């Protein structure tokens, strides 16, 4: 087996060889602990018939572990300076394709069709750049990709919000936006000491597995998310006050909002963090005729 990329010594060797300097703007923090990488990959339950999509491979530390576990790995890298590095570090693996692209602008479905035809089981496995974690996840979920799910590393604080349950202080519109599509759990917490350079915060790996069906059926998904965002706009306010402030012409429609809350069985004095995704679904459907059918 090839020497692991992700050791402090080998990482330094590679960075020095290419005179590479970290770009803060790209959120570059490279993992330097092979055990943690093996652990991340094990949470994805890949087989020799699986495909893996990676975002921000860096110098290939996680990529090589994916290449050993999966049939095909496609990695999206935005930083042109890393392309020759990856060509070098990943040269022992013939099942890796590096796509030089910003994942937020990429047509990921097209890339999957071209690079992974015939592969039924596909997982996104990545150490996500912290500054764009949420946009990346929401884009990939909204794109309805043919994937089983995600095993991704991010800031622990964001991981806690994504996996939060109703009634906790972390629970919010992000929890609902993600859990509408997937089951979400924290798989492991990762200390900042295993990165180069060290970030200021601890990280966590979360596992997201796609639902066969969403946990609640709604008339309009976009409106559901609009209602949840409005409901959490000011956490200390009641749901009635937040909906009045957050929905278009909400102030003038107080009576209609009260009517919808009653139909959905939600007390107007409750706060957003006490509502389950099912309750938000009922509420969004009750509000829908008053806010979405206006010509």
Which residues contribute to the annotated binding site for S-adenosyl-L-methionine?
Answer: 29, 31, 56, 77, 102, 127
The annotated binding site is made up of 29, 31, 56, 77, 102, 127
Q: Which residues contact 9 (CB under 8 A, 6 or more apart)?
A: none
Strands (E), 131-269: 149-155, 182-190, 195-196, 203-210
Which run of H or of E encompasses 74?
strand 72-77
Alpha helices of 27-172 — where are they, by DSSP H?
A: 34-43, 61-69, 83-89, 108-115, 133-142, 156-162
Strands 72-77 and 51-55 come out as parallel
**Backbone φ and ψ of 91, nearest 5°:** -60, -30
Record the tokens describing residue 143, joined without a space: 């794109």
Cα 2 to Cα 93: distance, rounded to the nearest angstrom? 10
Q: Which residues pair with 186 in a beta bridge?
A: 206
Please enumerate in sequence order all residues whose Cβ is within 8 A of that of 199, keeping only pairs 6 or more positions apart, or say none: 29, 130, 155, 192
Check the CA dihedral 62-65-69-72 and report its sign.
positive
- Helix pair 221-231, 277-291: axis angle to 10 deg: 110
Residue of 258, 194, 201, 270 whose CA lies nearest to 231 = 270
Q: Please list the residues that pair with 72 across neighbouring strands.
A: 51
């Amino acid at each position: 087996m090839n020497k692991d990329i992700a050791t402090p010594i080998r990482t330094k060797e590679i960075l020095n060889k290419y005179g590479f300097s970290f770009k803060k703007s790209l959120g570059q923090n490279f993992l330097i602990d092979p055990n943690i990488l093996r652990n991340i990959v094990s949470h994805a339950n890949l087989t020799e018939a699986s495909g893996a999509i990676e975002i921000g491979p860096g110098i290939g530390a996680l990529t090589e572990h994916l290449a050993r576990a999966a049939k095909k790995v496609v990695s999206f890298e935005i930083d042109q300076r890393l392309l020759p590095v990856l060509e070098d570090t990943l040269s022992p693996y013939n099942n890796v394709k590096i796509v030089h692209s910003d994942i937020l602008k990429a047509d990921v479905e097209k890339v999957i069709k071209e690079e992974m035809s015939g592969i039924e089981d596909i997982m996104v496995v990545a150490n996500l750049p912290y500054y764009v974690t949420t946009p990346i996840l929401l884009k990939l979920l909204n794109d309805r990709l043919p994937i089983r799910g995600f095993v991704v590393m991010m800031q622990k604080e964001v991981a806690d919000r994504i996996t939060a349950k109703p009634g906790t202080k972390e629970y919010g519109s992000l929890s609902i936006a993600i859990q509408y599509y997937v089951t979400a759990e924290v798989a492991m917490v990762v200390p900042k000491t295993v990165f180069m350079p060290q970030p200021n915060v601890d990280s966590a790996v979360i596992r997201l597995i796609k639902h066969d069906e969403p946990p609640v059926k709604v008339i309009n998904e976009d409106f559901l998310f609009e209602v949840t965002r409005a409901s959490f706009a000011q956490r200390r306010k009641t749901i009635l006050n937040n909906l009045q402030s957050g929905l278009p012409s909400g102030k003038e429609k107080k009576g209609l909002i009260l009517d919808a809350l009653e139909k959905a069985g939600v007390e107007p004095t409750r706060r957003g963090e006490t509502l389950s995704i099912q309750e938000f679904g009922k509420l969004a459907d009750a509000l829908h005729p008053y806010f979405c059918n206006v010509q």
